[in-house]
Amino acid sequence: MNTADLEPSIRPASEHDRAERAAAGGGEPTLAFTGRVPYDAYVHASTLHTLQRPVSDDPGEMSFLVMSQVMELYFGLVRHELREGQRLLREDDVWGALPSLRRAALHLEGLNAGWRGLRWMTPTDFNRFRDMLGEGSGFQSAMYRHLEFLLGLKTASLVRPFRRQPEVHAELTSALEAPSIWDDVIALLARKGHDIPADLLSRDVSQEHQQHPGVEAAWVEIYADTGPGNHLRMLGEALTDVAERFGDWRYQHLTSVRRAMGAKAGTGGSNGLQWLQRSMAREVFPELWSARTYM
């Protein structure tokens, strides 16, 4: 990073600089700054705390709104980690990709914890402000769609809601038409000598990947090698953690909807519970699961 791009309040400091400041202040924290507080300059906390704009007077709505915003941030964070892992896998750097993928799984745990902050919400609680949301729904989260597409859950029609937001629509269309991380993993297996059919490597990646016995067989072969240097096996486990934690999020979403509104129609026009149940049937990284039957 170019330090010239940093805000003036954020001044890089060495260990020596910090030790000098601590000594000069007798170990007390610095309380005087010439400009903006450096923490706020970095985190933008003062901006974050202006983004909660409830549409009702119900005090519970703030909890619903903040948890939704926190989840949005986590969607973006998990996407960031997966894209970094994907970049390294394209360079055949399996070992280098593992930290990003493991962080992604941990961030999904943080994302899942958000549902616990909404356990208080009964149908009566939700109904106090639900009507004020109009057609607003988590179904319309562009960043969640980015995450789904990156994980290989491709549905072209889900780009349509954003057609009047040209920049968002273009980014989602690009994500739909780009290889998912699973597509890149399959290509990696082929480069590593596994027998992956050519038509699978040249398929239309804007379409959802369908479980293939050739990919399944590759994972059976990979897992048969239990040596400590088998990076592909480590990759399989890191990706399994991601898929499992993402599945946990979808299940907890379903449970939270059932708890707050039962089987009512969704705010965004879907049939709510039934839509989520169908969505859960689509597996992330399917051969990593099916191959275990033959290991």
Q: How confident is the model at residue 159 (pLDDT cuts 50, 70, 90)?
A: very high
Entry pTM: 0.91
Residues annotated within a binding site for heme:
253
Distance CA 237, CA 231 (A): 10
Tell me, what's the pLDDT at 271?
Answer: 64
Residue numbers in the known binding site are 130, 253, 267
Q: Does pLDDT of 264 surpass 80?
A: no
Distance CA(140)–CA(50), nearest Å, equals 22
Report domain 62-294's class.
mainly alpha
Q: Could you read off the pLDDT of 24-78 as tens digits, one per residue? A: 888 888 788 888 888 898 999 999 999 999 999 999 999 999 999 999 999 999 9
Per the annotation, where are the binding residues for substrate?
A: 130, 267
Report the pLDDT value the prediction gives residue 267, as an integer from 0 to 100. Answer: 65
The CATH 1.20.58.480 portion of the chain extends over 62-294
Q: Taking a C-beta distance cutoff of 8 angstroms, is the pair 196, 186 a contact?
A: yes
Question: Who wins on pLDDT, 138 or 215?
Answer: 215
